[in-house]
Every structure is written in C-alpha cells, then in structure tokens.
Amino acid sequence: MPDFVERCKELAPAKIVLIKATVYDAAYGLLSQAGLPVVEQRIAFPGSGRQADFRRQFAAALEMAGSSASQPESPSTRHPSPLGSQEGHSFTRAQADAIRELIRLTREADRPDQKKLRRQLRSMGFRISDYSQGNEGFTVADFDALVARGTITLEERPVT
C-alpha cells in the first residue's frame, strides 16, 4: 500500500472517492493519514443488486466532495477554482459576514445540517472546495486569510 499512497500523492487529486467497502476499509486510513483529500464515505460496489445503494452513497460522496450530481452547473454559472491561481471571487462585506457565519455554523453542525449549510454557501457563490484541499475542515480564519491574501476580494456596493 505505500506505493499506492505515493502514486496518489503524485497525481495531486482534488478529491479521492473510494469505490467498494473493502477498498475503503483498506485505503481510507492510509490516504487520510498521508494528508490526501479522501472523501469520508463508504460506497458499496454497484454489483449484485447494490446499484441503488451505490447511487445513493456515490451521490452523498459527491456532495461531500463539493459536487452536485443532481444539479449540475452550467458553464456560465460555474466558478473557476482559484486554487493555484490568482483568480478568486468577490463578495460584498455583508455577503462575507454571512459566509463567515455559515462557515462557523458548519463547523458546529452535525453531518445532515452541514450539508444544508454548505448548500447555502454554494447558493451565495462560495464553495469551500474551491479553497480547501485538506480534510482538516475550513474555518472562518481560513476565509479571513483568503481575504487578507486578496484571493477573495470584498467590494463596497451602495444599497439601491
């Protein structure tokens, strides 16, 4: 397995989704300990009548990875990922305050509520996965660091 972990590191994936419960059981801990962005979702192999389980579990994994299989974005609404680039997003100060509060609540919420809160963040045009590659969790301090670096800009917009 060490060779497997090294090969995964070389690929530098944005996210890793492991398919088949036995593969997950064997690889999740190693990949996670190596700091790789593995999604914490056990997924049944889609054979032998488990297709419905697979679809449900895979959709959950995509949601955790920051993707939405049920509502794909059109290219005109998709935000470019600022990871590794200078391009970021722009928000008003009020939006930034709302984003900070949703991030804070997400850190304190249980998994079902986290999904709802992340959905709210995405509806504002903010995707944690655009800015975070690790499994340690995105914090308000991480958001503020992005603002300080200029990756995220805050605009003053007059109320009309």
- 112-151 residue pLDDT tens: 888 899 899 988 888 887 777 666 778 899 899 888 988 8
Contacts of 115 (CB under 8 A, 6+ apart): 63
Q: Treating both helix axes as pointing N-terminal to C-terminal, what angle do 93-108 and 111-123 enclose, rounded to 10 degrees?
A: 170
Residues of the chain with pLDDT under 70: 2, 48, 67-88, 133-135, 157-160
Contacts of 88 (CB under 8 A, 6+ apart): 82, 146, 150, 151, 152, 153
Q: Treating both helix axes as pointing N-terminal to C-terminal, what angle do 21-33 and 2-11 enclose, rounded to 10 degrees?
A: 70
